[in-house]
Structure 1
Amino acid sequence: MSSISATRFSSLRWQPVPCAAATSAAYVTLYALSNQLTSHRTDVGAGVFDWERSIPFIGWTIVPYLSIIVFFVGAFFVDTDREALRRHVLRLAIVLLVSLLCYAAFPLRYTFERPRTEGFIGVLFELLGHCDMPYNRAPSLHIGVLVLLWARFAPVLRGVWGTALRIWFALIAVSVLTTYQHHVLDVPAGVAVGILALLLTAPANHRYERPYRAASSSPWW
């Protein structure tokens, strides 16, 4: 009986719905806790270049910025490959944990004041303000997760949809700066953490191969 129960649990564990629920809960809880803890510290730095003040605030980019939530959840339902899902969850866990360790070791704060916004865009920023604080900076968790989402969606979206995905993901990447959520330093740090997670979890038969392969072959990740 115990063997049957263990088999059923193992089968359920790597299903999209429980994986999405558990991973989302972990992200929301641990990210919020990290923000709260950093807000009480007195050794929080800035990590900003003077020339960054020339980066414009573009209110409507809050839409692509928040759209990552849809892709985050949708990524658990991309295909029925249980091993690929397990690998995706592991990658998300690596990005989250490495980012949290960085936030604890090198606490940073966003320093620019966001202009006032109104209407629908203002409502979105207000909702974001209730869920986020100006800490948890480098690496950008938004960018780290975006790298993983690209690895998850790119193989299944080709042609027009693939082009649309590239454009929209580019908007999401830029939006972390134009919504005044992150400074420039946070972006390459987020990319590095995302790539690290991909490399650490690459399938064994691809781990030491070149990441860029012929278009006709299966993706290395």
Structure 2
Amino acid sequence: MAKVRVHNFTITQDGYAAGPNQRLDAPFGDGMDGLHEWMEAAMENRASGLDTERARRWEENTGATIMGRNMFSPQRGPWEDESWKGWWGPNPPYHHATFVHTHHLRPDLPMEGGTTFYFTDEPPAKVLARAFEAANGQDVIIGGGATTVQQYLRAGLIDELNLVVAPILAGAGIRLFDNLEGALTQYRVAEQISSPAATHVQLVRR
């Protein structure tokens, strides 16, 4: 049965997924240097290792992705123009339908490699239904950022969270596990395993 998964979502030791002042030259905000060093090293050495194996799981049986506006763009408010096409260049890594939550709609954005960004102001359950249809029997990934993951957790829509804890401290920003209204009581820690670079934690429904 197809699942709703969070995968390779990285937080700091003190629980932050993003720091203050996200901008073009600081996609994750201030104080987040080194957040994804584990992934960068894994991508450079794809042959072996725990981090490489876990990073690869992101693409296994994945048919659609959902993300928030802040994951797609550093801009806030109405689009100044529509020239911004994401952080990833002309060929984003998704290669499938990718839904972007935003209060400011814009036309669908087809990219190279099979990725199409769909901008939506619909509620999570509705967007998830569209994503499952697009995924055609495969899993749907909730990509981030933290507030988007929180929305889907509060709505009880996530089956599995595969998190990565990086060995840095942020001290300020947006914590993944804030504002959940008791949603985490529906999950248990199924696995915790560490490499020299990071700790991988899997949460699954009870």
Which TM-score band (shorter chain)?
A: under 0.3
Normalising by the residue count of structure 2, what TM-score does the alignment of the two structures yield?
A: 0.28
Structure number with the higher helix fraction is 1
Structure number with the higher strand fraction is 2
